[in-house]
C-alpha cells in the first residue's frame, strides 16, 4: 500500500488578516498595515457564477475550489465547516494555502486538531481563525428589500431585522442574495495571547465604520497580534477656550462645518469631540500621516474655523505626535497640558 503523502507547514508568528464589505473598511485596514485583506477576492459558498480573478482568493465552497485551484492560490473559508485534522489535510491536497476553522470550535477542540495533525504529518497545519466579527446565521436567495419594491436601495443604506430576540443586520450581495448576521459580535481579542498554533487571526468586518475598524485592529495588536509593516498613526489634539457666552453661536457654527469637512477628509482614521465645560472644547483626529492632516488643516472650513478661533478664544492650543494606537482622552489631555506647562488634577477624570 502506498504511503500517504505528508503535508506540513513551517510555524510562523501569528498575524492579522481581515475580511471587509466596504471600500471604507478596506482603506482603514490598509492604513493599519494589514497585508491580506479579503474584499473583491472572495468566492462565496453559494456562488454559481465564477469570473476570472487575479491573485489569492478566499473560497467558501468546493465548486469555487475546483474552478480556481488551477489558476489562483487560495485560502478556504469558515463555510467549509472544518473541525478536524483530516479535513485540513484533504483541503491542503486540493491546494489550499491555509484552512479557516469553523466558527463553532472551542480552544480544546482546536488543540485536538493540532495534535492530531502533527501526529499524522510530522509537522504543523496552516490554519486561520476568525477572532472578531458578526457570525452569519442564514444565507437566503430571498431579498426582503426587493419584496418591498426597494431593489438596489441596499447599495446606499443598511438594513436589519428586529424581533423579540434582538437585532440582526442584513448583508446584501451583488447577486441580490443576502446573509443574515448575528446581532451579537464574536470578540476574542482579549484571548489572542492564549490562542496557540493558529497562523492567521482574522477580523471579519461587516457593518463597522472605519473608526471602529481602526479601533479593533489596534486592540488586536495591543494583545500581541503581529501586523507586518504596521504604519504609525499621527494623532492631532486641539483645545479651545472661548472668551465668553456671546461667542458660542459663532464657535458652534464653525465646529459643525469643520466636522462635516473632517468626516469627508482623505486619510482620516478616527475623530472625536469632548469638552471640560461650556467654555472649553477639545477635538481629536487620527490620521494616516502628517501630509493628510495638513491637507485638511490648511484648507476649507477648518482653516476658516482656526482663524475665527483665534479671535473668539483666549486659549487656542494644539499638540501632535506619532503613536501605534489611538490614545484615550486622558492621555491626550495630559500630552497637551504638558506641552503648555500645566499640571493636571487627575481626580477630574
Give the residue from 115, 150, 180 where a domain finishes.
180
DSSP 313-340: EEEEEEEEEEESSPPPHHHHHHHHHHHT
153 and 289 in a common domain: no
Q: Which of 123-127, 155-159, 253-257, 307-311 has the lowest mean pLDDT?
A: 155-159
156 and 204 fall within a common domain = no
Same domain as 201, residue 159: no
335 and 209 assigned to the same domain: no
Residue 6 located in a structural domain: no
Q: Look at residue 245 in the predicted model and tell me its pLDDT.
A: 85
Domain of 309, in residue numbers: 233-348
- Given a cut of 60, whether residue 63 has pLDDT beyond it is yes
**Continuous segment of H or E residues that includes residue 181:** strand 178-181
In this structure, is residue 263 part of a structural domain? yes
> What does the alpha-carbon distance between residue 349 and residue 329 come to, in Å, rounded to a whole number?
10
Q: What integer pLDDT is reported at residue 348 of this predicted model?
A: 47
Under a CB-based contact definition with an 8 Å cutoff, are residues 113 and 101 in contact? yes
Check if the beta carbon of residue 210 is closer than 8 Å to that of residue 275. no
Q: Is residue 297 part of a domain?
A: yes
Average pLDDT of span 150-156: 68
Q: Which residues contact 289 (CB under 8 A, 6 or more apart)?
A: 231, 234, 267
Query: Residue 324: CA atoms inside 13 Å, Cβ hemisphere, count?
Result: 12
Give yes or no: residues 303 and 257 share one domain.
yes
Average pLDDT of span 193-219: 91
Contacts of 137 (CB under 8 A, 6+ apart): 168, 180, 181, 182
CB-based contact 35:229 (threshold 8 Å): yes
Do both 80 and 200 map to the same domain?
yes
At which of 194, 222, 250 does a domain end?
222
**pTM score, whole prediction:** 0.68
Is the model more confident about 151 or about 229? Answer: 151
Predicted local distance difference test score (pLDDT) of residue 232: 66
Q: What pLDDT is stored for residue 229 in this prediction? A: 47
Q: Which of 192, 52, 53, 77 is nearest to 128 (CA)?
A: 77
Same domain assignment for residues 287 and 247: yes
Report pLDDT for 3: 65
Is position 153 within any domain? Answer: yes
Contact 76, 60 (CB under 8 A): yes
Q: What is the CATH number of the domain that holds 191?
A: 3.20.20
| 282-325 pLDDT per residue, tens | 999 988 788 888 888 888 877 787 888 778 888 989 999 988 77
Domain-located, residue 312: yes
In a domain, 252, yes or no: yes
- Domain containing residue 307: CATH number: 3.30.70.100
d(CA 67, CA 79): 17
Check whether residue 204 and residue 340 sit in a common domain. Answer: no
pLDDT at 349: 42
CA distance 184 to 180: 12
- At residue 346, the pLDDT reads 47
Q: Do residues 171 and 87 both lie within one domain?
A: no
Q: Reply yes or no on whether the pLDDT at 273 is more than 60.
A: yes
Confidence of residue 117 (pLDDT cuts 50, 70, 90): very high
Identify whether 1 is part of a domain.
Answer: no
Same domain, 308 and 282: yes
How far is 72 from 51, CA to CA, in rounded Å?
A: 12
Same domain (yes/no): 51, 104: yes
Q: Hey, what's the cell of 137?
A: 446565521
- From 133-137, 209-213, 250-254, 315-319, the region with the lowest mean pLDDT: 250-254
Residue 59 in any domain: the answer is yes
Q: For cell 463555510, what's the residue?
A: 79
Total structural domains in the chain?
3
3-state SS of 97-121 is EEEEECCCCCHHHHHHHHHHHHHHH
164 with 74, same domain: the answer is no
Residues 6+ apart with CB under 8 A from 257: 301, 304, 305
**Whether pLDDT at 250 is above 60:** yes
For residues 33 and 15, the answer to whether their CB atoms sit within 8 Å is: no
Amino acid at each position: 500500500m502506498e504511503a500517504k503523502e505528508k503535508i506540513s507547514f513551517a510555524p510562523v508568528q501569528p498575524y492579522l488578516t481581515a475580511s471587509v464589505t466596504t471600500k471604507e473598511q478596506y482603506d482603514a485596514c490598509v492604513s493599519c498595515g494589514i497585508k491580506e485583506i479579503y474584499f473583491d477576492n472572495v468566492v462565496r459558498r453559494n456562488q454559481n457564477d465564477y469570473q476570472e480573478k487575479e491573485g489569492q482568493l478566499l473560497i467558501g465552497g468546493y465548486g469555487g475550489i475546483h474552478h480556481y485551484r488551477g489558476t489562483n492560490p487560495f485560502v478556504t473559508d469558515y463555510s467549509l465547516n472544518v473541525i478536524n485534522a483530516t479535513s485540513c489535510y484533504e483541503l491542503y491536497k486540493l491546494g489550499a494555502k491555509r484552512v479557516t476553522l469553523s466558527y463553532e470550535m472551542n480552544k480544546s477542540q482546536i488543540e485536538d486538531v493540532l495534535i492530531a495533525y502533527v501526529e499524522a504529518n510530522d509537522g504543523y497545519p496552516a490554519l486561520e481563525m476568525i477572532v472578531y466579527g458578526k457570525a452569519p446565521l442564514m444565507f437566503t436567495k430571498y431579498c426582503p428589500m426587493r419584496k418591498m419594491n426597494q431593489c438596489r436601495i441596499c447599495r446606499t443604506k443598511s438594513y436589519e431585522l428586529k424581533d423579540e430576540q434582538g437585532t440582526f443586520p442584513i448583508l446584501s450581495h451583488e447577486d441580490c442574495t443576502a446573509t443574515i448576521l448575528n446581532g451579537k459580535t464574536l470578540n476574542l481579542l482579549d484571548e489572542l495571547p492564549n490562542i496557540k498554533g493558529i497562523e492567521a487571526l482574522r477580523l471579519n468586518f461587516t457593518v463597522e465604520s472605519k473608526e471602529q475598524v481602526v479601533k479593533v485592529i489596534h486592540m488586536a495588536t495591543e494583545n500581541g497580534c503581529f501586523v507586518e509593516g504596521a504604519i504609525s498613526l499621527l494623532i492631532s489634539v486641539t483645545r479651545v477656550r472661548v472668551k465668553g457666552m456671546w461667542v458660542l453661536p459663532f464657535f458652534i457654527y464653525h465646529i459643525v462645518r469643520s466636522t462635516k469637512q473632517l468626516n469627508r477628509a482623505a486619510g482620516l482614521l478616527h475623530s472625536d469631540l469632548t469638552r471640560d465645560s461650556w467654555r472649553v472644547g477639545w477635538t481629536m483626529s487620527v490620521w494616516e500621516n502628517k501630509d493628510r492632516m495638513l491637507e485638511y488643516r490648511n484648507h476649507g472650513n477648518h482653516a476658516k474655523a482656526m482663524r475665527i478661533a483665534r479671535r473668539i478664544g483666549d486659549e487656542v492650543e494644539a499638540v501632535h505626535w506619532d503613536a501605534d494606537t489611538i490614545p484615550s482622552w486622558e492621555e491626550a489631555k495630559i500630552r497637551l497640558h504638558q506641552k503648555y506647562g500645566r499640571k493636571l488634577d487627575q481626580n477630574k477624570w
